[in-house]
Amino acid sequence: MKMLKYAEPSSIFVVVTPFEGTCFGALLEVKLEEEGSATHKTQPVLETVSQFTTKDLGRGMWKFCTLDSMLYILPDGGPDLFDTEVCFPKCSGHIFNIETRKVVTSTKSPAPKWFGTHVSAYGKIYSLSDPYSSRDLPEPSFEQYDPITQSWQELCSFPYSDEYGKTQIQGYAVCAEILLFSICGCKDNYGALWAYDVIKNKWRPVQVDNIGCYFRGRAVVSDKTIYALSIFPMVVVAFSITSNQNEEGHISYSTGSLLQFDFPLFIGWRSDQHLVHLGNLVFYLIQSGFDDEPDVRQPVSITKFQIVGGREINVISSTLCEVDLGDMGPFDVQSCFTVSSSWFPHTVYAGEWEDVPEEVNAWEAVTLTEEAIASKEVTLAEEDIVYVRKIGRYINLGKQFPELPQAIPVPYQAGIDP
């Protein structure tokens, strides 16, 4: 697999969801110095890139998902707390351009769901209903959005059952061929890991030997190891997923050995944390929180660390910034990302696609955006085939193949392996 080289990000973007106030979400920016540390000396108060209000985007409940340099603002389900009857959001989603800092367009929304999780992976967005709510909703409960065709496609439904009636999706990881979901309950430390096979469109349970493998938030996958925030406070976990195939051809998954890394408690009440990967096992741990009497500002802690020797953490820098709440109330951090990591989310194989020119199948391929290529922040070998997602074309040494709007088709509908 070809390695992509790109410049270190100049900023970390933080998506927050306030509990009160005039906006339902905001995008914050943590500016970084050349060595990657937060510029706390010159930026004690984080910049608010944009606030998202119901006045501007419409009434409803919303969730955020990053794909390329775009922030997708998609309606989330759930009963309307101000009406006596249950209603689902019928408004369209929105796309916010992080570079221009403007809402550039509206997009089609996924099917109504009570509450769910949106995952950006393989150049698409996956929308999955939470287990505790989805049995009461019609299908589709699991869909994927293709930004090229601007359409949603129904996928194989999650195996909902009474067993998952009081659970919800706490975290997810984007692996080579699977989406890994961590599902946790509210009591008895109940949890489960489920793998969705993107190629075969199948769900498979994952055998878990240690409850420490249950995680929350978006995990980071590096060199076949999953790094994530544990469901237990202030702990980062590392583990692997192993696949096995029996004589009948059925595939099963299990977790490997578990490592845990502890961090000090940032704040004593309502602490929230998210993980951002810079590369070379260098991470940012973003933490925020507030107490019973929130002030006009809310603290945000940015810790840069590296995992060395596979078992130790080397803290590179630690910074404490603040957010001026202004019209916002106290907030939770929903997600964190860097612009460069959102430009280059994944590397994929051309062999996974159908109806592709023979020349493309002969090589490994990488998926990029026009901006990434134009910025010259990425170095490609001469034999690389580049699929430019925005224009739907393959590019090889300046030669463009015919436009292929369906170049990455939706996998066929399939059930669950026994």
Domain boundaries, the chain: 11-343, 350-400
In contact, 32 and 10? CB cutoff 8 Å: yes
> Given this model, what pLDDT does residue 402 score?
32
The percent of residues in the chain predicted with pLDDT above 90, rounded, is: 12
What CATH number belongs to 11-343? 2.120.10.80
Residue 356: the pLDDT is 37
Report for 7-21, 139-153, 191-205: range of highest mean pLDDT: 191-205
Express each pLDDT in 36-64 by its tens digit: 555 444 457 888 888 887 776 665 567 88
The confidence band for 207, taking pLDDT boundaries of 50, 70 and 90, is very high
**How does pLDDT run across 358-368, given as a tens digit for each residue?**
443 333 344 44
Token output for 383:
């034999």
Q: What's the pTM value of the predicted model, to 2 decimals? A: 0.75
Which 8-state DSSP code applies to residue 194? E
Q: Any idea what DSSP says for residue 21?
A: B
Query: What pLDDT does residue 226 have?
Result: 93
19 versus 124: the higher-pLDDT residue is 124
The pLDDT of residue 66 is 87
Dig out the tokens for 20 from the structure.
Answer: 């009160």
Which is higher by pLDDT, 315 or 375?
Answer: 315
pLDDT tens per residue across span 130-144:
877 655 666 788 999
DSSP of 27-84, one letter per residue? EEEEEB-TTS-B-TTT-SB-EEEEEEEHHHH-SSEEEEEEETTEEEEEEE-S--TTSS
What strands lie across the sheet with 124-129, from one edge to the other?
116-121, 124-129, 142-146, 151-154
